[in-house]
Structure 1
Amino acid sequence: MFAKQTVFVVGAGASAELNLPTGQELKKQISAALSYDRGYYIEFSDHRISDAINEDASSRDERNISNYIEACDLIRSALPAAISIDNFIDAHQGNHYVEFCGKLAIVKAIWEAEKSSKLSKFCGSAKQGISSVSQTWLIPFF
């Protein structure tokens, strides 16, 4: 059908039908992933976020995670007005903490969404998979 290799870039709206978050929903999930409780220790809603931040700080020989907390606060406060998380990260290109925390939260949000999406069934078994996406735009597209 196509003479050359072709790449299709499909936006977040197209994935909503597959039970994946839209851009607006993704921004909310990213903000939630970067929320934390400030007690004696900083505790993120997901221990894997804490672990990844602590590991990155350690690899950079940083004794505390205040730069990461500042980046999380910046992302959470500005994200509602941002066009997208990608646009926000791009606007802060070169700020390791914003880039790291933003991408970390993107991975968490998409990973969680994919587990309960129609794609998880589609990729799981051929028989169940086709029926899980049979009423979506994927079948006519392919």
Structure 2
Amino acid sequence: MGDSERTNVIVVGAGASKEFELPTGAELTSIIQKDLDFAIDRFGHLSIGNGDWELKRAIEILSKETKVPINRYYGVAQQISRNMALAPSIDNYLDTHKENEYLVKVGKLAIANAIIKAERGSTLTIDDSNIYNRLDFSKTKNTWAAVFFKIIAAKRDYTSFVSALQNITFISFNYDRCIKQFFL
């Protein structure tokens, strides 16, 4: 880490955001299963069931923009929901069904919706009442990112610290934006 001439690549594995109160891959499949738990009544109308209203609205917008009947999207939403309990991951499930563009679109909407909701509740959220628009680092002091930051900052003046940061590239296997939020 200390060699400023070397470019450092940090690979962040799936689940590294758990410390920031974001879901693991297994938890994400459970969230998506619940969020897509829509039901169609005998008249063809949507019953929200356990589903998520924001996700329902996003699917309605998708239907209007693509001019695809809403029931086609609700049908794949039900399919995803029913199968999440046995899916190794949402990524794996979407890859298995990549030929079904409707399913993939709904799956990606469900991922984005779940991550956005989780980010709002994470330790990296900036409270709207925070007039300085700054993170509360006391909530993250024991995370891997804080430890990594301390290692980078140790025994460096500001200029060499910034130089060290410029030589780091992150490769992340996480959907969320924790790394960017923490380091920026």
TM above 0.5, yes or no, is: yes
Give SS of 1:6's match. strand
User: Which one of 56, 75, 78 corresponds to residue 73 of structure 1?
Assistant: 78
Mapped to 2, the partners of 1:110 and 1:8 lie a distance apart of: 20
Tell whether the 8 Å contact from 2:17 to 2:23 is kept in structure 1 after alignment: yes
- Structure number with larger C-alpha Rg: 2
Tell whether the 8 Å contact from 2:38 to 2:78 is kept in structure 1 after alignment: no
Cα drift, residue 38 of structure 1? 2.9
Report the AA paired with residue 68 of structure 1: Y
**Alpha carbon RMSD of aligned pairs, Å?**
2.2
- Which has the larger share of helix? 1
Cα drift, residue 111 of structure 1? 1.1
Cα drift, residue 7 of structure 1? 5.0
Tell whether the 8 Å contact from 1:34 to 1:76 is kept in structure 2 after alignment: yes
Cα drift, residue 103 of structure 1? 0.9
Partner of 2:14: 11
RCO higher in structure (CA 8 A, sep ≥6) = 2
Which residues of 2 match residues 45-56 of structure 1 at below 5 A?
Answer: 45-56=51-62
What is the number of residues matched between the two proteins? 137
Structure 2 length normalisation: TM-score? 0.65
Tell whether the 8 Å contact from 1:29 to 1:109 is kept in structure 2 after alignment: yes
Question: 1:8-62 deviations in whole A, cap 9, x for unaligned?
Answer: 23212x2222211111211111111111243452144333322222222222223
Report the AA paired with residue 65 of structure 1: I
Partner of 1:125: 134
Mapped to 2, the partners of 1:111 and 1:75 lie a distance apart of: 19
Mapped to 2, the partners of 1:55 and 1:133 lie a distance apart of: 36
Consecutive unaligned residues of structure 1, counting only runs of 5 or more, are none
Give SS of 2:9's match. coil
User: Which one of 69, 87, 96 corresponds to residue 91 of structure 1?
Assistant: 96
Partner of 1:31: 33
Partner of 1:42: 46
Mapped to 1, the partners of 2:54 and 2:99 lie a distance apart of: 24
User: Which one of 108, 114, 122 corresponds to residue 113 of structure 2?
Assistant: 108
Give SS of 2:139's match. helix
Identity among equivalent pairs (%): 32
Partner of 1:137: 144
